[in-house]
Amino acid sequence: MGDVEASSANPKRAQGRLCSICGEKRPALKRPKTLEEICRECFYNVFEDEIHKVIVENNLFKCGERVAIGASGGKDSTVLAYVLSELNRRHSYGLDLFLLSVDEGITGYRDDSLETVKRNEIQYGLPLKIVSYKDLYGWTMDEIVKAIGLKNNCTFCGVFRRQALDRGAALLKADKLVTGHNADDIAETVLLNILRGDIARLSRCTYITTGEDGPIPRCKPFKYTYEKEIVMYAYFKKLDYFSTECIYSPNAYRGFAREFIKDLERIRPRAILDIIRSGENFRISTFTRMPEQGTCKRCGYISSQKLCKACLLLEGLNRGLPKLGIGRTKGHNGVNKDDEQQKISHSREKGSSLQSKQCGTLDF
């Protein structure tokens, strides 16, 4: 009786104990993005509906397309595979979905996470294709780290991984490649490109679809989805995912941007979306000289230089000079050029006896 009287005396307090959407069940969480207190079922609905809305409003897919899902076994790609397969069935997208994984060759990390992906293949009924650095480039990340050390290893991995995903998607004859990049990731990338002064990447890093002029377009259905909500969704749905961080990533430059974003989010949750909106509305001066898009003369991959970054890095590794692929310098005309390209050309002129492996020919 006392509880009833207390509820009548303070109706706002009583109302706050119920889901702010359905008004029937007790809330299970407070949404990081909106701070609404909602129940599990309503959370599932709004989470999935928001992603469906992003897909539809941005025309990410066409009926009948073959779509490769970049699957690492982590929370983002696992939730992406689950949600995309659910939405494909529920809303009749008519997509042919596949899981695509890259084995970088990191003992104690990638070998374990790939076991998770193999379980996801069975759980979601999606065919799985695995491509490896060893097969594509002749090197594993363990071998690269042994040669280069821990300081710049993420440069090698990032460049090789991007190309490996495209090559895997080409093997699957995919029309689109989707990745689990979330709102936090994109906000971090905006900040990183500002800090690096990378105008070319800053101008396109918030695009929801990239590479439309390249071999295979990439889509990011989680562009406006917070990392915390992805974790909550995976937890409540009891999805099977791998949660260990890469053993070589603690020194990554991106980690500092990530910590900064987390601090901002604690102060103002909408800061993540605001940074993305800012990135979307950046206007690059017409006087800014942008790199011209071409193709690598060795492997055919998209590149603004004669050789793509993967070929440059790989040539440095194969010549026993791994640092040739790191660093930038300015040419005589003030345009940034890769320092390693000049050094590699010089070593060729001297008649080096070392023969570089090609990074592969892309057949699209």
What is the mean pLDDT of the segment spanning 56-82? Answer: 97
Single-letter amino acid code for the residue at 91: H
Rg of the chain taking only CA atoms, in angstroms: 23
* Residue, of 174 and 294, whose pLDDT is higher: 174
What is the mean pLDDT of the segment spanning 105-116? Answer: 92
Q: What's the pLDDT tens digit per position in 290-338? A: 778 788 888 888 888 888 899 999 999 998 888 777 755 343 334 444 4
pLDDT band at 251 (very low <50, low <70, confident <90, very high): low
Look at residue 131 and tell me whether its pLDDT is greater than 50: yes
Binding-site annotation: residue ranges for ATP:
70-72, 76, 102, 180, 185
Tokens of 322: 């791994």
* Residue, of 245 and 335, whose pLDDT is higher: 245
Residue 30's beta-bridge partner residues?
A: 37
Alpha-carbon distances of 163 from 156, 309, 340, rounded to whole Å: 11, 10, 19
* Distance of alpha carbon 136 from alpha carbon 156, whole angstroms: 14
3-state secondary structure 87-115: HHHHCCCCCEEEEEEEECCCCCCHHHHHH
* Residue, of 342 and 142, whose pLDDT is higher: 142
Tokens of 164: 């490996």
Single-letter amino acid code for the residue at 117: V
Q: Count CB-CB contacts under 10 A for residue 296.
A: 23
What is the mean pLDDT of the segment spanning 108-117? Answer: 92
Which of 105, 106, 129 has its CA nearest to residue 117?
Answer: 129
Domains and CATH numbers, the chain: 47-281 (3.40.50.620), 294-348 (no CATH)
Q: Report the first-to-last Cα separation within the chain, whole angstroms.
A: 73
Binding-site annotation: residue ranges:
70-72, 76, 102, 180, 185
User: What DSSP string describes 190-203?
Assistant: HHHHHHHT-HHHHT
Look at residue 140 and tell me whether its pLDDT is greater than 60: yes
Phi-psi region of 6 (alpha: psi -120 to 50; beta: other; left: phi over 0): alpha
% pLDDT > 70, the chain: 84
CA pseudo-torsion sign 66, 70, 72, 73: negative
Buried b (16+ CB within 10 A) or exposed e, 213-226: eebbbbbbbbbbbb
